[in-house]
Structure 1
Amino acid sequence: MLNSNSREFVIKINLITASKWLCFLSLLQFSAVAQDAKPESNRFTKVVLAQKLEEPMQFQVMEGGKVLYAERKGKLKLYDPATNKMEVIADLQVSREYVKKKSEREEGEDGLQGVILDPDYASNHWIYIFYSPKSASVNRLSRFTWKSGKLNMATEKKVLDVPVQREECCHVGGGMVFDKDKNLLLSTGDNTYSKSSDGFTPIDERPGAAPRDAQKSSGNTNDLRGKILRIHPEADGTYTIPEGNLFPKGTPNTRPEIYTMGNRNPWRLTIDSRTNWLYWGEVGPDGANGSESRGPRSYDEFNIAKKAGNYGWPYFIGDNQAYRYYDFATKKSGELYDA
């Protein structure tokens, strides 16, 4: 027969044992939940909405499952799941060619680069389009009013022009995203020909070689190319500058629209809705091998901006790996750039 102290000891042991079993069962349940978090692939059916798309650049999923998307050659299209049909709602006349000094023409990357709905689209019916008009050497951000049917081009409000050269290809950017404060972020490429740089940094400073020098754009605080811009669109079609961009408004030889600079070809953007941090992919050059006399091999990048900053191109690549200064006239290398 157990005395009271013995019974108390046994009860305590039993409680500890029960607690351990409860913890073990909880772990089993957690493990089962974790395994169930990834649904079986046979629960999904892939449905092809459309085929033979011609260079689709950016899309927006709308109410009711409609999909609005831009094709680089100028068509803005709408897929309607109710009819299972694709409709062209606009066909913009866009610049797609580069014309060299000898009048040689080549297809480039310019055109209809992106489309995004205003955060309040349901009430104001505004959409923003980034495209390369034929009428001017700029890449243009415009706002249109679009309710249904065809896009009425007469509703265009020109928000922002990015002056470009159309002598030699490439890099346009064109990613757009709104942050939680309804600021619009827009990526722009360095508008620089890189193939003459042997896979290294394009900093050709010879007279007449500006299309091959990314210092004019990405490395230039007073130029909108090779950047991620951040603006706040206003109701009248203008924009204001939000606080926290790279250069305070009024800083000499700078553009206040710049959020990040030192970009080569920033592509699609995304915003963390909780932190407001910006993420994007950066397309790198084509150098497979590094060189002691020129600099590192090429890298594509995934970047994060917790605040405004300079991301280094054309002086650095990857995790701040430095190129050397290179004189394209004498073909002599100088010092490494200092981060």
Structure 2
Amino acid sequence: MFSKAALSCAALLTVATASARIGVEKLGEKFERPVWVGQPAGITDKLWVIEQVGKVWIIDAKTGARAEKPFLDISSDVSRKGNEMGLLGMAFAPDFKTSGRFYVNFTDGSIKTRIVRFTANKSNLMETEASSAEVLFTYDQPYQNHNGGWIDFGPDGYLYISAGDGGAGDDPQNRAQDLKTHLGKMLRIDVSPAKGYTVPKDNPFVGKSDAKPEIYSYGLRNAWRCSFDRKTGDFWMGDVGQNKWEEIDVMANGKAKGANFGWRLREADVPNPNGKIAGDNPPGAIDPVYVYKHGGGKTEGNSVTGGYVYRGPIKELEGRYVFGDYQNPRIWSFELKGGKASGFKDLTDELKPEGGRINLIASFGEDNAGSLYVVDHSGPIYKVVEK
């Protein structure tokens, strides 16, 4: 007997694979455990690459040539206990070209998550003023996994922060459903003040004594990589599963404040396979738009890596959500029609590098032209191109 999740996935598998008009180009030399690539608004000739060990490098967007010195080196502040800790996310202020402000998300030596603001040298935005570091926000990490790590600005100008459930198995303290903790949540803060941050007045739990005001949505296990559709403003999340299922979640632009994505009661769109903690959909729950089961097959995997709705120059990919799996390194895409995934395509073969393969899909990236990048945790950065 098929589960609801299995049927959701199986319904998409009859669609033919993508046309063979796309490929990837490797950008430059290998990096040490890269986890993100991107660029600030208004800059097109450079890309910024995060290394999990605590460094940020600038590379030439065409050749991949790396700057002689890192743009930022906080390796002495970053904890690398366990595979999931370290420097995990970065976001540029929308006005970076004038303010020089950017933000990083990392775990420190005391096993806390830190959200820190830095300011680049305004006379040379390719350099950072190390003394400008300002810790804006911290919260404890009880275990060494499920740290979240993604961070970026939404179309509303606020900073969004993915906080995992804190780790171990099956969220033993049920933190994702507990509004008194930041863990297992999507957070939203206003970093426009000269110092510190404020909480947006329209955050859904502002003024409630039994909830953290920074919470925007909850019931997440570990939304490792997320993105905003630059055309519609819709918010996409790849939430890593545990027992049997991986999921892609979507919050329509401005329409899902306070949404509950169900973890740990639910995994994907079914009750948690651990019957001791499984339950029905809680009030306000939003089911994923796409799920896939654990395994090593062509439509399976064990750790989803959220991607982007493609808005770049390749017409064949326009409007398609491109994502992958970290452990079973495959890349897929689909369109969202009527709130449901449609037209599933396996892009793995098209996006296979010449003479090799992408080993560990840690992240995807997007530049200002909408072009897509694939970050291989084993070292290389690839750009998706039309052939």
- TM superposition score category, shorter chain reference: 0.5 to 0.7
Aligned residue pairs total 252
Pick aligned residue for 1:70 from 29, 37, 50: 50
Partner Cα distance (1:68, 1:264) in 2: 28
Question: Match of 2:98, SS?
Answer: helix
RMSD of aligned alpha carbons: 2.6
Q: TM-score, normalised by structure 1?
A: 0.67
Q: What is the SS of the residue equivalent to 1:78?
A: strand
Structure 2 unmatched runs, 5+ = 1-17, 283-387
| Structure 1: distance between partners of 2:37 and 2:130 | 19
Name the counterpart of 1:8.
Answer: none
Q: 2:226 matched to 1:252?
A: no
TM-score (norm 2): 0.59
| Structure possessing the higher radius of gyration over alpha carbons | 1
Q: Distance in 2 between matches of 1:271 and 1:244?
A: 19
Any conservation in 1 of the 2:90–2:152 contact (CA below 8 Å)? Answer: no
For residue 96 of structure 1, what is the aligned residue in structure 2? 80
| Partner SS for 2:26 | coil
Is 1:171 equivalent to 2:146 in the alignment?
yes
Contact preservation (8 Å) 1:188, 1:265: yes
Alignment of 1:137 with 2:114, yes or no, is no
Larger relative contact order (Cα-Cα within 8 Å, sequence gap ≥ 6): 2
Q: Distance in 2 between matches of 1:84 and 1:179?
A: 28
**Structure 2 equivalent of residue 55 of structure 1:** 33
Match of 1:22 in 2: none
The 8 Å contact of residues 218 and 225 in structure 1, kept in 2 or not, is answered as yes
Q: Please report how far the alpha carbon of residue 235 of structure 1 lies from its aligned counterpart in structure 2 after TM superposition.
A: 2.9
Q: CA distance change for structure 1 residues 151 and 302 in 2, over 3 Å: closer, same or farther?
A: same
Counterpart pick for 2:249 among 278, 303, 312? 303
Report the Cα distance in structure 2 between the residues aligned to 1:51 and 1:117, rounded to whole angstroms.
24
List aligned pairs for 1:125-204, cutoff 5 A: 125-134=100-109, 136-147=110-121, 148-165=125-142, 168-194=143-169, 201-202=170-171
Q: Is the 8 A contact 1:192 1:214 kept in 2?
A: no
Cα deviation, residue 146, structure 1: 0.8
For residues 53 and 335 of structure 1, the distance between their equivalents in structure 2, rounded to whole angstroms, comes to 41
In structure 1, the gaps of 5 or more residues are 1-37, 98-106, 195-200, 203-212, 288-297, 327-333
- SS at structure 1 position matched to 2:131: helix
Aligned partner of 1:20 in structure 2 is none
Q: Which amino acid aligns with 1:250?
A: G
Alignment of 1:1-339 (within 5 A): 41=21, 47-62=25-40, 63-81=43-61, 84-87=64-67, 88-92=70-74, 93=76, 94-97=78-81, 107-134=82-109, 136-147=110-121, 148-165=125-142, 168-194=143-169, 201-202=170-171, 213-215=172-174, 217-247=175-205, 249-285=206-242, 287=243, 298-306=244-252, 307-308=256-257, 309-322=259-272, 326=276, 336=279, 339=282
User: Contact 1:130 / 1:141 at 8 angstroms: preserved in 2?
Assistant: yes
More strand, by proportion = 2
Mapped to 2, the partners of 1:175 and 1:231 lie a distance apart of 14
Query: Distance between the aligned counterparts of 1:187 and 1:245, measured in 2?
Result: 15
3-state SS of the aligned residue for 2:269? coil
Distance, in Å, in 2 between the alignment partners of 1:273 and 1:46 is 22
8 Å contact from structure 1 (residues 132, 139) kept in 2: yes
Measure how far apart 1:59 and its partner are: 1.8
Further displaced range: 300-309 or 78-87: 78-87
- Please tell me whether the aligned partners of residues 236 and 251 of structure 2 are also in contact (alpha carbons under 8 angstroms): yes
Cα distance in 1, alignment partners of residues 266 and 23 from structure 2: 45
**Secondary structure of the structure 2 residue equivalent to 1:110:** coil
Please report how far the alpha carbon of residue 283 of structure 1 lies from its aligned counterpart in structure 2 after TM superposition: 0.6
Match of 1:79, as an amino acid? Answer: I
The change in CA–CA distance for 1:77 and 1:319 in structure 2 (over 3 A counts) is: same
Q: 1:40 to 1:257 in 2, by over 3 A?
A: same
C-alpha distance in 2 between matches for 1:81 and 1:276 = 25
1:173 partner SS: coil
* Residue 209 (structure 1) aligns with: none
TM-superposed CA distance for 1:246, in Å, is 3.1
For 1:224-243, what per-residue CA distance to the aligned partner results, in whole angstroms no more than 9, with x for missing partners?
11111111112323222224
Q: Which amino acid aligns with 1:278?
A: F
One-letter amino acid matched to 1:137: I
| Structure 2 equivalent of residue 205 of structure 1 | none
Distance change >3 Å, CA 315–CA 153, structure 1 → 2: same
Conservation of the 8 A alpha-carbon contact between 1:179 and 1:273 = no
Indicate how the Cα distance of structure 1 residues 262 and 270 shifts in structure 2: closer, same or farther if over 3 A, else same.
same
Name whichever structure is richer in helix by fraction. Answer: 1
